[in-house]
Amino acid sequence: MSTTWKLFTIFSLVVLISMSPFARTQSNSVSGRYEREYVLSRSKAKSMRPIGQSAVSSRQVKANSGSASAAVTITDNSDHASFVNMQGSNPSWPQWGHDSSHRGSIDVVGQSPNQILANIIYDPFVEQEKASGERVFGAADLFVHYQTPLVDGNDVFMEFKSGTYTDLTTWETQTWNQRRLSWQNGQLTTVWNFQSDWKPEPFGGPTWEPVYHAVLAGDFVYDPGFGGTVFKLNRSNGSVVARFNPFGNNINANTFVSGPLTADSAGNVYYNAIKLANNNPWGKDVVDAWLVKIAANGTISKVAFSTLVPNAPAATDQCSVQFSDSQLPWPPSPDAVPPSINCGSQRPGVNVAPAVGPDGTIYTISRTHFATRYGFLVAVNPNLTFKWAASLRGHVDDGCGVPVSQGGQLPPNGAPGGCRVGAHLGVDPGTNEPGPGRVLDDSTSSPVVAPDGSVFYGAYTLYNYAQGHMMHFDASGNYRLPKPSRH
């Protein structure tokens, strides 16, 4: 049986369908004070308890056994001739979440896919990646984030991997490519391939391979590069028009383009960048982090995350982390105080794509370097000056003892899988505090701007069976009610 991700075309629109099993084994330790996350093992997913385990579930892409590569299969419910005839009126999908607001929707008529038009391998390392996942996490699954196929007219722009695969913990030995394919005479044909020198952040903060993600903007493709740089490619032939370096003439190997690029309607491109310590990057504080803007005319500007979250804890302040497993069931007592670590400085989540609202406001997600429970939705003016920063903490109260009829998820206090008897109503059992929206480096959740200017963010929470919460803020940063959400 082959490993395929099916990309179904709806008037040439490509949609990624993936499956989500879980692994349940502790990840490798990282030296320093980084708050470790865990992954749930597929073999024990059915027996998962919300607070009786310290495991964190992460979305995974299932790879069927017996395959040697990941492939894209494009299907249609009509013959080739009618498919090609429809391509002239195709809508586009030029970036992460479709548009700069990340609304993720498009007005097309759905079709029932029942005919294969193309089958193309884009990751030849699947068997090695699965074997490494088995070794590190106890689950032979793909711990990889892939670029959304970018579609415009007859063209499809996709990530292709090459180079050498060594291990999940040394994923930087691979090579990432941006490739333009186009429908020509009924065949999806390679037009050009650009080999980027982009490298992901090292394993240890993220335990999933971070996402490499380009964006289409007019006649150009903007593609992530090494050291926090971005390539501007000629869309027609893939040649390099420019290379943008926000950090001067030198390229630093410890600086990373972090997350997908975003382009607004004026052709401006935005992204997050992180500079990590050379040694033990997840045990030492982040060196710096920025929101970068490349204007349509090529002007580069950036702003440090340290100036965008004035209400954040200081790097040496203490941030709460979860209780020890030896103290289960949580919380250990009604008034138990959770352990703490140094918070670390502010930086973006590793896979966050900035969003841009209709008024030009830029939104991104910030977090403390060491602790996942201290995140912020950040609003930035078009000139990259601070607008507001809204904390993700203290907004959720559906934890211990809250009945299902009132929005809770846990069994009653004292019941198997429930909080300890006497726990305060609604608290997160892991820290005995009001539930925070957590920002995980393995997540790809990013802000979404609604038509009314309000902003959604899918934050992580473990205690509600890892469903997370959909957090909602108005255009001024005031919090609205959450909704449980898979993200």
Tokens linked to 238: 């893939």
Q: What confidence score (pLDDT) does residue 359 get? A: 96
Which H helix or E strand runs over 16?
strand 13-16
Neighbours of 468 (CB within 10 A): 26
Q: Which domain holds residue 60?
A: 4-484
Q: What confidence score (pLDDT) does residue 276 get? A: 98
Of 183, 180, 163, the residue nearest 220 (C-alpha): 180
Strands 269-275 and 288-294, how do they pair? antiparallel
Q: What confidence score (pLDDT) does residue 65 get? A: 35
Instruction: Indicate the average pLDDT of the chain.
Output: 85
pLDDT band at 108, cuts 50/70/90?
confident
pLDDT in tens, 282-306: 999 999 999 999 999 999 999 999 9
Q: What confidence score (pLDDT) does residue 433 get? A: 97
Q: How far apart are CA 27 and CA 362, in angstroms?
A: 34
Q: What confidence score (pLDDT) does residue 76 get? A: 53
pLDDT in tens, 244-260: 999 999 999 999 999 99
The pLDDT of residue 11 is above 70: no
The pLDDT of residue 80 is above 50: no
pLDDT in tens, 377-429: 999 999 999 999 999 999 999 999 999 999 999 999 999 999 999 999 999 99
Of 87, 79, 22, the residue nearest 56 (C-alpha): 22
Q: What confidence score (pLDDT) does residue 482 get? A: 59
pLDDT band at 117, cuts 50/70/90?
confident
Which H helix or E strand runs over 427?
strand 427-428
CB environment 235-248: b (16+ within 10 A), e (fewer): beebeeeeebbbbe
Q: What confidence score (pLDDT) does residue 66 get? A: 40
pLDDT band at 68, cuts 50/70/90?
low
Q: What confidence score (pLDDT) does residue 179 get? A: 98
* Domains contained in the chain, number: 1
Q: How far apart are CA 263 and CA 294, in angstroms?
A: 9
Q: What is the mean pLDDT of residues 61-71?
A: 48
Q: How far apart are CA 204 and CA 195, in angstroms?
A: 26
Q: What is the DSSP string of 251-279?
A: --TTEEEEEEEEE-TTS-EEEEEEE--SS
Q: Residues of the chain with pLDDT > 90: what percent?
A: 77
Query: Is-cis flag, bond preceding 331, omega within 30?
Result: yes
The pLDDT of residue 57 is above 70: no
Tokens linked to 360: 């030009």
* CB-CB contact of 168 with 133 (8 Å): yes
The pLDDT of residue 17 is above 60: no
CA distances from 392 to 34, 193, 397, 439, 443 (A): 19, 41, 13, 9, 16
| Vertex 253 angle, CA 249 and 254, to 5° | 115
Q: Which residue has the tokens 């977090």?
A: 367
Tokens linked to 48: 């998962």
The least confident of 22-31, 115-124, 434-443 is 22-31
